[in-house]
Amino acid sequence: MSEQKPAWMEMGLSSEEYAKICDILGREPNYLETGLFAVLWSEHCSYKHSRPVLKNFPTEGKYVIQGPGENAGVVDIGDGQALVFKVESHNHPSAVEPYEGAATGVGGVARDIFTMGARPIAALNSLRFGSLEDPRVRHLFSGVVEGIGGYGNRLGTPVVGGDIFFHPSYQGNPLVNAMCVGLVDHKRIVRGLAAGPGNLVVAAGAKTGRDGIHGCTFASEEFSEETEAPDVQRGDPFLESLLIEACLELMEKGYVVGIQDMGAAGLTSSSAEMAGRAGTGIEIDVSLVPQRDEGMTPYEVMLSESQERMLLVIEPQHRQVVMDIFAKWGVEAAVVGRVTEDGIYRVLDGEIVVAEIPVKALTDSPVRYPEQREPEYYQRLRNWKPDDLPVPEDLNSVLLKLLSSPNIASKEWVYIQYDHQVMLNTIVGPGADAAVLRIKGTKKGIAMTTDGNPRYCYLDPSRGGAIAVAEAARNLSCVGAEPLALTDGLNFGNPEKPEIFWQIKQVVEGMSEACRSLEIPVVSGNVSLYNETKGEAIYPSPVVGMVGLLPDVKRCTTSAFKDSGDLVVLLGKFHPQLGASEYLAVIHGLEQGEVPEIDLAEEKQVQLCCRELIREGKIKSAHDCAEGGLAVAIAECCIPGQRGATINLPFAGREDALLFGEVQSCILVTCTPRELDSVLKTAEKAGVTAAVLGETGGRHLIIRDRAERALINQHIEEMEKVWRGSIASYF
């Protein structure tokens, strides 16, 4: 056997961290204690690399009820109601076992929602995968989609949206970020507090097994012999649906002092974090924890990541009634410890104390400040100019090619595998700029979306970050919703590399700036680092999950052209750029150039204007210009509306840039000729440029330049065929 490393090193602690632990304890930690520190001080639980960066995010605003720090963020939607939402990554597990990895991701984030007292009412997911040409990628992608459906459909939570981006940088390391949104009355919001010394700690749900221990540390020496603890966990969505009902009933009846799901680092993190928030101590007796496997060690029980488990704090006099309610729902539960006042985190194995650490020491982990350095590629790629790029002759076939690019093509193959209608609230389902749900018993609607363009974030992390926020907000504005707040998923490579840390900082700075300008605070989020294969990092991949509010859900709109003879109007300044575009990547095989500029003040006005037009019922459709540029955006309105349009571009420039160049802060809307004046007036009042581009109707999309030359003349059936069939054609 080669030289044996000390346990703390195997577990990923640095020597400074280990010294600090010895210092805190005044002695060396035992094996279990070392393990507890290792998981709680890991990047996943402690955000040691990202915490100082995350401070940049604005987290307060008029709608915010609960910002970051709890299991999920909470925003006010009026009438005494609130939305609870969060995004969570399950990247690594999905790469190992796509179905279960994605499924347990969906289950995990749903627990973060109902743990706050909210009933999950919608799920979304943001996926990043390598090229579908690769059979392994197809296997992963198909498995992930099936897993999201397999779990989400069984939970009875509609999967209403998400976004997908394919790029070779995800070939070996796909990203699966799941978002869940819940609805709660203000007075029912419950937090993750282990308050009230003398109160009981209850573990409920699945029995604790050996699964997932590898997820936190690499220490395998102490696994009891016959075992090879499985790396992946399987989910039990049926049990989760019972857990939801049981926990919500308990919370509604007022029996819950505090509650938290056992997510990453299971019992350890949930109990330590709950005590940390409440400023109490906590005692857990591992021998009382219901166990699935025989002969589990205290270390295994504490670090297991078995799914579908919750930790509750209740008052002793409610013990019986709480157990009865769990029993009624067929959920196993056991008292496993108690809240203390000494501020100590104590683990017992029956009578024996097996770990004893101040709670604060576990939860106040040291921060690491990695170096940052601008990567070499940044200036080089950014300085590229399209001057020497030839303009393709056949622009019609370019349009078809773009429509069939999996990044632009319809994602129908994916979302028809999700039940998006259950609960009877879905007004606008997947496939739109944003999903819209009604809130039963009110006139209100809520809208939600996820977004993030990794190519932009690679070529210009700060601008890419800002665009991710702006675009998510724009998507909400396109259905008529006012953005309330966002949750973010920050997916990056190894932060210890200065270039990666630079990307993280830049992205967060860009996002924060957009959040401030657009007045959209961050209320929750997730960080996933070390997304690399063979030393190659993924593209910087922030995911923005945003929710918005519609005062009257009947006044929402979609992108489809509704009637023939309507006018097509472009809101916003049109200055398309070829840099960083899908066109450049798909047609010319280049990923370089300047990322589209964004003027956040203008962005705000364009969105405001669009929302006002929708609210006043002046426009019939709205769709933002995103990947693929103006031509693709118009095609995306033609296809679902099953009608063409004739467009006369009033702009000058290279044809390919006009058609396929990408631009920010632009929204395509339609109105009747009679409403036009009123639409233009509203735009003018908002200080927003508006240009009439043409008229809807016919079976063709015709786009002419200023000289009235037809650049595009394409039958909608042709466009629909390639757009709808593209992703399906890989399976």
Partner 1 sequence: MFEAAVYVTLKKGILDPEGKAIKNSLKSQGYDQVEEVTTGKYFLLKIKERDRTAAEEELRQICEKFLVNMVLEDYSFELREVDR
Partner 2 sequence: MKFGVVFFPGANAADCFYVIDQLIGHPVSPIQPEERELDGFDCIVLPGGFSYGDYLRAGALAAATPVIEQIADFAEQGGLVLGIGNGFQILLNTGLLPGAMRKNESLRFRCHDVFLRVENSRTPFTNRYHQGEVIKYPIAHGEGNYYIDSEGLAQLEQNGQVVFRYCNEQGEVIPAANPDGSVRNIAGICNVKGNVLGLMPHPERCSEEILGNTQGLRLFLSVLDWWGIHTQEGVMTDE
Ligand X SMILES: Nc1ncnc2c1ncn2[C@@H]1O[C@H](COP(=O)(O)OP(=O)(O)O)[C@@H](O)[C@H]1O
Whose Cβ is closer to Mg ion: residue 75's or residue 622's? 75
139 part of the active site: no
In contact, 46 and 272? CB cutoff 8 Å: no
Whole-number Å distance between alpha carbons of 57 and 689: 31
**Separation of alpha carbons 195 and 227, rounded Å:** 37
Contact call for residue 112 and ligand X (CB under 6 A): yes
Of 65-73, 91-99, 134-142, 470-478, the segment contacting ligand X by CB under 6 A is 65-73
- Extract the tokens encoding 330: 């067929």
Q: For the window 388-427, what string marks contact with partner 2 as x by the rule CB under 8 A?
A: ---------------------------xxxxxxxxxx-xx
Closer by beta carbon to partner 2, 163 or else 236: 236
> In terms of C-beta density within 10 A (0-12 exposed, 13-18 middle, 19 or more buried), how is residue 187 classed?
exposed
Is there binding between residue 46 and partner 1 (CB under 8 A)?
A: no
* Binding residues with partner 1: total (CB under 8 A): 23
Are the CB atoms for 625 and 667 separated by under 8 Å? yes
The Cα–Cα gap between 471 and 666 comes to 10
Give the nearer residue to partner 2 in terms of CB position, either 310 or 473: 310
Within positions 321 to 380, which residues make up the interface with partner 1, using CB under 8 A? 330
* Beta-strand relationship, 200-205 and 333-340: antiparallel
431 binds ligand X (CB under 6 A): no
167 part of the active site: no
526 binds ligand X (CB under 6 A): yes
Residues 97-136 that bind Mg ion (CB under 5 A): 112
- 249 binds partner 2 per the rule CB under 8 A: no
Query: Which of the ranges 231-239, 366-374, 412-420, 425-433 carries the binding residues for partner 1, by CB under 8 A?
Result: 231-239
CA–CA separation, 481 and 473 (whole Å): 9
Pick the piece of the chain touching partner 1 (CB under 8 A) from 42-50, 225-233, 443-451, 623-631: 225-233
CB of 207 to partner 1, least distance (A): 9
Rounded CA gap, 449 and 430, in Å? 9
Dihedral sign, Cα of residue 284, residue 285, residue 289, residue 292: positive
Measured distance CA(306)–CA(231) in Å, rounded: 11
Residue 427 interface partner, choices Mg ion, ligand X, partner 2, none, CB cut-off 5-8 Å depending on type? partner 2
**Among 309, 438, 474, 643, which residue interacts with partner 2 (rule: CB under 8 A)?**
438
Token couple for 557: 């709109």
> CA-to-CA distance for 531 and 514, rounded, in angstroms?
25
Phi, psi (5° rounding) for residue 198? Answer: 95, -20
Pick the stretch among 15-23, 410-418, 517-525, 617-625 that binds ligand X (CB under 6 A). 517-525
Please report how close the Cβ of residue 330 comes to partner 2 at its closest, in angstroms. Answer: 7
Sequence-distant (6+) residues with CB within 8 A of 535 are: none
Residue 68 interacts with ligand X (CB under 6 A): yes or no: yes
Considering only residues 174, 196, 263, 548, which one is a binding residue for ligand X as defined by CB under 6 A? 263
C-beta of 723: minimal distance to partner 2 in Å?
16
Q: DSSP string of 640-686? A: HHT--EEEE----S-HHHHHH-B-SS-EEEEE-GGGHHHHHHHHHHT
Among 54, 296, 546, 722, binds ligand X (CB under 6 A): 54
Smallest separation, CB 4 to ligand X (Å): 32
438 binds, among ligand X, partner 2, Mg ion, none (CB under 5 to 8 A by kind): partner 2
Please, what is the Cα angle at 238 between 236 and 239, to 5 degrees?
Answer: 70
The tokens describing 106, both together, are 């969906």
Q: Which is nearer to partner 1, 286 or 473 (CB)?
A: 286
577, two tokens: 């750029």
Q: What is the largest CA-CA distance in the chain?
A: 88
Q: Given candidates 42, 71, 269, 670, which one binds Mg ion under the rule CB under 5 A?
A: 71
Closest C-alpha to 467, from 448, 452, 489: 452
Binding of partner 2 by 132 (CB under 8 A): no
Q: Which of 416, 350, 376, 375 is nearest to 149 (CA)?
A: 416
User: Minimum Å distance from CB 306 to partner 1?
Assistant: 7
Region 440-469 residues binding partner 2, contact defined as CB under 8 A:
440
Which residue numbers are catalytic? 44, 90
Residues that bind Mg ion (CB under 5 A): 71, 112, 263
Residues that bind ligand X (CB under 6 A): 45, 54, 57, 68-71, 86, 112, 263-264, 488, 490, 522, 524-527
